[in-house]
Amino acid sequence: MLMHTPTNATEYLQLSVSERIQLVEDIWDSIAAEVSNTVGLSQAQKAELHRRVAAHRADPSTAVPWEQVQSKLFPSKP
């Protein structure tokens, strides 16, 4: 954890790279701690996730490789 938290953009830029990375990690950890306590899945969402996992386990060949999904989402530009 940083000893001094910058209060403006100029101060952030004066931090070393490792200090800025630590700051981002600290911010991320604080967000994750808050979200894990406030965001939950509904019973319907949990049931849907379980259904999808079961369907995948029953027939893993229906899975689409990440590379294929990625190429459809982010087609290369000519």
User: Taking 70 as the threshold, does the pLDDT of residue 52 lie above it?
Assistant: yes
pLDDT mean across residues, the chain: 85
User: Taking 80 as the threshold, does the pLDDT of residue 69 lie above it?
Assistant: yes
DSSP 62: G
Which pLDDT tens digit goes with each residue over 10-42? 888 888 899 889 889 998 888 888 876 666 788
Structure tokens at 65: 């490789």
Please state the domain extents for the chain.
17-53
The pLDDT value given to residue 36: 65
* Coil, helix or strand at residue 65: coil
